[in-house]
């Protein structure tokens, strides 16, 4: 039996040309996820790439075993990054590559010492999309990278306070915590104090006909009544913004709805910044 060569590890400055050459040996890998490559490439372009010890893995016959998405992102971004390469692995090692659980944003936040990380991760995702002008939903292709999310939290730390308020009010108004946190934060930004007050008022039973608060309470009650139905974040955000606008302007609403699809999709509602007194 011929002895196998021992695997070798080295850190290299990986250029787009080197990455393209290595991709030429990508013959036994899973289908590439282009949206993920785009996100990685954008992060590299912004200078957010950090070598974390996760290697590019190459078999002893030169076949690429792991790393096609990072290599493709280097090519797409045109950047050079430092990265660990492990070569000389047995080709059958491909069966064990990427079989673990991928670390989520919630996991990253927990490692950083944050609390209520599931809701915080969801809130950061919504706020990131809003700031970038994307749909306020949970689509994977518009989700922030971990670095983007952490940077956003560093720049907007008051989101933590909004989430604590949402956690306190959740049992009384039954609004999804991540949605409540982000919208109260953005409403307060547009009209100081009014976002928090709106969600506090949402905790109080309102039987007035055509009340925006009552209309939103009816939507939330319908979700509680049917546990199998979960209103998409995009629609829930839209209806909550509608209710907030009507409540702030004292405009009656008989029935709260939002139709994002079909032949005539409804545009996502806006909320305007109110000038402070004296402005």
Domains of the chain, residue spans: 8-91, 105-249
* pTM (two decimals): 0.71
> Which tens digit of pLDDT belongs to each residue from 217-268?
999 999 888 877 788 999 999 999 999 999 999 999 989 999 998 888 999 9
d(CA 112, CA 141): 24
Calculate the CA 116 to chain-centre distance: 16
What would the pLDDT profile of 78-126 be if each residue is shown by its tens digit? 999 999 999 888 876 655 555 445 678 998 899 889 999 999 999 999 9
Provide the CB-side half-sphere exposure for 47 (13 A, CA).
1
Contact indicator for 185, 162 with CB cutoff of 8 Å? yes
What is the CATH architecture of 8-91?
Alpha-Beta Complex (3.90)
Q: Over 70: is that where the pLDDT of 276 sits?
A: no
Percent of the chain with pLDDT over 70: 90
CB 233 within 8 Å of CB 142: no
């Amino acid at each position: 039996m011929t002895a196998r060569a021992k695997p070798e590890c080295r850190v290299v400055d990986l250029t787009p040309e080197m990455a393209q050459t290595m991709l030429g040996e990508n013959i036994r890998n899973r289908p590439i996820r282009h949206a993920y490559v785009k996100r990685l490439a954008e992060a590299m372009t912004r200078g957010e790439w950090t070598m974390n010890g996760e290697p590019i893995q190459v078999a002893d016959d030169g076949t690429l075993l792991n790393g096609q998405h990072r290599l493709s992102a280097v090519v797409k971004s045109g950047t050079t990054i430092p990265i660990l390469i492990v070569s000389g692995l047995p080709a059958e090692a491909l069966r064990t590559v990427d079989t673990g659980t991928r670390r989520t944003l919630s996991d990253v936040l927990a490692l950083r010492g944050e609390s209520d990380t599931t809701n915080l991760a969801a809130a950061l995702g919504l706020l990131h999309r809003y700031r970038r002008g994307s749909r306020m939903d949970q689509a994977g292709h518009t989700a922030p990278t971990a670095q983007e999310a952490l940077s956003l939290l560093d720049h907007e730390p008051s989101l933590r306070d909004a989430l604590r308020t949402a956690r306190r009010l959740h049992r009384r108004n039954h609004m999804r915590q991540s949605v409540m946190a982000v919208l109260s934060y953005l409403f307060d930004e547009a009209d100081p104090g009014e976002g928090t007050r709106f969600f506090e008022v949402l905790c109080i039973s309102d039987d007035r006909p055509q009340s925006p608060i009552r209309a939103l309470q009816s939507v939330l009650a319908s979700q509680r009544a049917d546990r199998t139905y979960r209103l998409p974040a995009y629609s829930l955000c839209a209806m909550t913004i509608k209710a907030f606008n009507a409540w702030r302007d004292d405009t009656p609403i008989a029935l709260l709805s939002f139709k994002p699809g079909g032949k005539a999709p409804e545009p996502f509602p806006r909320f305007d910044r109110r000038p402070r007194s004296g402005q």
